[in-house]
Amino acid sequence: MLLALTGGTGFIGQHLLRELPKRGYRLRVLLRHPSAVPMECASAVIGDLARPRNMSAALEGVDAVIHSAGFTQGMSGIPEDDYRLLNTEATIGLARAARRAGAKRFVFLSSIRAQCGPTAATALTEADEAKPTDAYGRSKLAAERGLAELDLDWVSLRAALVYGRGVRGNMAQLMRLARSPFPLPLRSIRGRRSVLALENLSLAIDVLLKAPGALRRPFIAADAGALTVGEMIAAMRYGLARRRNVFPVPPVLLKILLRSMGNEEIYRRLSGSLVADPSALMGLGWSPRLTTTDGLARLMQEN
């Protein structure tokens, strides 16, 4: 199967470049600018995804498209219109081009934030009403709804926070905390968070590419076992062959301390839960190889 991949120079895209050929796929990387691709694959430079024009040469003979390019959550200074332009309109434009080229399936890397805000009171399933709370989540949800209007077999992967080699952002900050030599007052924080290992993500994409029949829907993807932030630190320190060194303090005291430091928002995010239920994806045959505990331990060993 020949796949067209966008975002091949990004965090997720680089992993897919390494892993998908191991599963027997051929890759054609769609690049904004000429650059070296770290795999043996045919590359096609198609220009700016935000202004897709004639992509017939780039997509000729492609069986499926994996679209992972786009603005990510938390990019500073990006207005909502820019999220809409690249994450929504460019996605729909690329999907239209894929349909004209005869691609059999369009796999869109969406996000759990297309469904909710930074926390959720109950475990999320695809049946829940989507209520994104920021420009990033709204742009991803709008792209899904645009895909649903096309005569094309599409599927979106609403991934929990993805982690693995080279991760940045919130997970990188947590890794720095885990590497610190200090005891951390996090054991009393009970909010649980779902995350997704890169290895489990590539397995999910493999399942979606091979699934029979039309899909035309979103699927949630998350590791087995949502953890508290204290449990995440403990798993990371286990990967470093160190004691977990996490102790409890009354949550109200931690909240007051962080508020005095101007970081009350950090407490709200840490104390709230965001648990994602991937049962529907597992019903297609997806079985994540790594639990969150094992994945976070490996993360520390690889970075």
Residue-wise pLDDT for 182-229, tens only, equals: 998 888 888 999 999 999 999 999 999 999 999 999 999 999 889 999
- 112 within domain boundaries: yes
Mean pLDDT of the 141-150 span? 98
- 168 within domain boundaries: no
- Read off the DSSP letter of residue 44: E
- The dihedral over CA atoms of 214, 290, 9, 152, expressed in degrees to the nearest 10, equals 10
- 177 within domain boundaries: no
- 30 within domain boundaries: yes
- pLDDT confidence of residue 129: 96
- pLDDT confidence of residue 263: 65
* Residue 286 CB coordination number (10 Å): 19
Mean pLDDT of the 51-69 span? 84
CA gyration radius, the chain: 20
Average predicted confidence (pLDDT) for the chain? 89
Query: Any idea what the CATH number is for the domain that residue 67 is in?
Result: 3.40.50.720
Residue with token string 């890759």:
27
- pLDDT confidence of residue 264: 66
- pLDDT confidence of residue 270: 73
Q: How far is CA 21 from CA 24, 102, 125, 296, in A?
A: 5, 22, 31, 25
Residue with token string 């950090």:
266
Q: Are strands 26-31 and 195-197 parallel, antiparallel or unpaired?
A: unpaired
- pLDDT confidence of residue 253: 84
264: number of CA atoms within 13 Å, CB side? 5
Mean pLDDT of the 241-259 span? 86
Report which of 287, 265, 273 is spatially closest to residue 229, judged by C-alpha positions: 273
Which of 7-11, 59-63, 263-267 shows the lowest mean pLDDT across its residues? 263-267
**Cβ 101 vs Cβ 62: under 8 Å:** yes
- 83 within domain boundaries: yes
Residue 62 has pLDDT above 90, yes or no: yes
- pLDDT confidence of residue 128: 96
Residue 170 has pLDDT above 90, yes or no: no
| Residue 223, helix vs strand vs coil | coil
Q: For residues 224 and 46, what is the distance between their CA atoms, to the nearest angstrom?
A: 38
Chain centre to alpha carbon of residue 200: 11
Residue 20 has pLDDT above 60, yes or no: yes
Q: Nearest-5° angle of CA 24, CA 25, CA 26?
A: 125
Residue 281 has pLDDT above 90, yes or no: yes
Residue with token string 């597992």:
282
- 181 within domain boundaries: no
Using a cut of 0.75, tell me whether the model's pTM lies above it. yes
Mean pLDDT of the 220-246 span? 95
**Cβ 180 vs Cβ 76: under 8 Å:** no
246 φ/ψ angles, rounded to the nearest 5 degrees: -120, 125
Mean pLDDT of the 1-19 span? 93
Give the contacts of 289 (CB within 8 A, at least 6 positions apart): 199, 200, 203
165: number of CA atoms within 13 Å, CB side? 9
- pLDDT confidence of residue 257: 75
Residue 45 has pLDDT above 90, yes or no: no
Residue with token string 């991934």:
159
- 8 within domain boundaries: yes
Mean pLDDT of the 130-142 span? 95
Give the contacts of 18 (CB within 8 A, at least 6 positions apart): 38, 39
Residues of the chain with pLDDT > 90, as a percent, come to 68
Which of 153-157, 160-164, 166-170, 205-209 shows the lowest mean pLDDT across its residues? 166-170
Q: Which two tokens stand for residue 229?
A: 């932030």
- pLDDT confidence of residue 208: 98
Give the contacts of 102 (CB within 8 A, at least 6 positions apart): 62
Task: Name the pLDDT band for 82 (thresholds 50, 70, 90).
Answer: confident
- 238 within domain boundaries: no
- pLDDT confidence of residue 36: 60
Task: Name the pLDDT band for 271 (thresholds 50, 70, 90).
Answer: confident
- pLDDT confidence of residue 81: 85
**Cβ 216 vs Cβ 222: under 8 Å:** no
Q: Could you tell me the residue range of the domain that residue 128 belongs to?
A: 2-162+196-222
Q: What domain count does the chain have?
A: 1
